[in-house]
Each structure stands twice: as C-alpha cells, then as structure tokens.
Structure 1
C-alpha cells in the first residue's frame, strides 16, 4: 500500500514555517526586518503609491517585517489599512491608528471603523504577507484563503513580502489563487 504523499502546498508551507521558527527572535531577523522596511518604502515609491492609501499588515514574530511594520510604512502613506481576521474566513479592514490593540493572535489590530475588502480599491498598493512566492507572482499563504478572497477582482498593485530564500522556482497554485505584482525581500524588491 502506498503512503499518501503530502500536498505540494502543505510540504512547502511546512518547510518555510520551520525555517521561520528557527529565525524568530534572532539578531539576524531584526536585521532582515529593517531591510524589509526599506525595500517596502522603495517599492511604494516605485509604484507611485507613496502618499496614497495603502494596505499592510503587522506580522507575527516569525513573519518577515518588524512588529510595527505598518507604523513604519505609515509616514509614506495617506492612510494605512490593516486586516482583521473574521471567523468566516473573510478579512475586514480598519485604518491603523493610535488606538491599535493586541488582537486574539497577539498582533496589533486597529479598533476603528471596519470596512469590507472593497476599501482596498482606494489604495495605491497592498503590501501582503506570504510564505513563498515565485517569479511569476504566485504566492503561497497559510492555506485559509483569506488574502485570495480579499484580492480577487481588485485592480490595485499587490506586493508580497518574503525572506530572500522564500522566492522559489514555482509555487503550486489553484485557479482561485491570486498572483501579485511585486515581491519584497530584504535584498530589495522586483516587479513580476
């Protein structure tokens, strides 16, 4: 009897999550996070998104970017919208501000008015997390599809943030997976 092989997405997720756990809390991660902030600001500028509304995220401790990632991008934006994970697999969005507080996952979440993903149409760029991305712009998320649902049908540039070694040859993808327009890493950014 053949042993079932893990789904290619699951195997890739598992490998990248293990690498990220090993990096968590190290000086190396701090250095990489600072470079990600700089590369993100350069990407916003290159896409003409500086001074516009943007969407960003505050990463978990193992994810690329410093804990205050959105606040570090805020001076380059008119407003920054942050995601709020809802129970039904949908993202709500609220403007980052002074009243952000830790949410259920230990990530800073805004407390202001909530919007549907339609608010993303007001943005000049969306800066989103990923576990891996390929040079065709296919991103691998954590598997719940929150971002794929939020990005569907938008005509707004999207940049995925990953560590350099998470840019891979090919990301397994399905018809509903949404491609990105740029990739941001500690080494810089590139358009897809």
Structure 2
C-alpha cells in the first residue's frame, strides 16, 4: 500500500513545472518563517532539496549568509543520517542518491538539538494525522525517534492524502506546511 502511494505521489510531483515548484516553495517557506517555532529556533536541521521537492536551497543560503540560525544538514553514512553544521552552501556537493551533502562542516550530534530547535522533514506523502511516507529507507524515522526537536514537514498540497497506513516504526511530524494550509 505504501509503495503504491509512493509511486502515485512521485508521479504527481513530477508533473509540476519548475515555475510551479519555485512559486509554491516560496509560499511554503514564507509560512515557515512566520511560525513562532521557526523564529524561536537557533538550530534548523533541514533536508537539502533535490528534484521536485519543496525547494529549501534559498532558505539554506539565506541563513548561511545572515548567520541568525545555524544550518544543520544530513549526510547518508551507512544506513543512517549523520548531521553536520555547515557554514557555506559550497560546503555541499552531490553525494549518495544524487542529493547535495556536506563535504565539510562541524559534526553535529542529534542530542545537541533542543526542544526549541526545528527539523524540516521531507517526504513523498502526508495525511492530516501527520503521518508521512518517505523514500522507503527509514533514515528520517530513525533520526526523528531520537530527538525532541519540533518536526515540520514541507510539502505541496498535492502530497496530502486521505490516509497513510502507519506502522509502529513510523514517526509523525508535528506540523505540515503546504502552499494552501498548515496542518497542526
């Protein structure tokens, strides 16, 4: 069932034009920056978007320049995510799965994330119960289980489905932001 949803939603997302992705992403990121949770966070652990995900590159670049928030990004090492605090967008290069990953930066233990910090979570599908379907490797579920930081998913409205079959190991997010709504 999850695989069927994954395939359907990846096809829908692939139909978005670059212009649509850019416009919708700008709306979603603007909503994110207005959240009290975002304003209060010192550390932002964010995915580095690729393909047709909600574009996080402008957000990452903005806060690397302003230095008002620390930017933490994941890197796939073995079968888990290792976290790194980066100082410049050039600290990233294409790595596993053709995703930009840190090539340098300070290793950042997940235990350093405070409850006031944020994790921006990618995914393929979400429901109104705040369940998510990722890419199927479980990297984020493993990471999200180990922290009390706020978990916010960034998604296009077309990624919201009626119901996701949640399993015991799945971790819900705290909020989902789309270009049309905030699901709390």
State the TM bucket, normalised to the shorter chain.
0.7 to 0.9
Residue 54 (structure 1) aligns with: 44
Residue 82 (structure 1) aligns with: 73
Match status 1:10 vs 2:16: no
* In 2, Cα distance between equivalents of 1:9 and 1:180: 17
Residue 136 (structure 1) aligns with: 129
Among candidates 163, 178, 184, match of residue 185 of structure 1 = 178
In structure 1, stretches of 5+ residues that fail to align are: 1-7
Q: Deviations over 1:40-62 (max 9, x none)?
A: 2123xx22643511211210021
Residue 30 (structure 1) aligns with: 22
Q: Is the 8 A contact 2:79 2:139 kept in 1?
A: yes
Q: Is the 8 A contact 2:72 2:108 kept in 1?
A: no
Q: Deviations over 1:99-155 (max 9, x none)?
A: 422121242536112234323347521111111111111111111000000011422
Per the alignment, do residues 121 and 66 of structure 1 end up closer, same or farther by CA in structure 2, a change over 3 Å counting?
closer
Q: Is the 8 A contact 2:13 2:158 kept in 1?
A: no
Larger Rg: 1
Q: Is the 8 A contact 1:36 1:188 kept in 2?
A: no
Match status 1:164 vs 2:157: yes
SS of 2:104's partner is coil
Among candidates 33, 39, 47, match of residue 31 of structure 2 = 39
SS of 1:47's partner is helix
Q: Is the 8 A contact 2:123 2:133 kept in 1?
A: yes
SS of 2:149's partner is coil
* In 1, Cα distance between equivalents of 2:70 and 2:84: 10
Aligned-residue RMSD, C-alpha: 2.2
In structure 2, stretches of 5+ residues that fail to align are: none
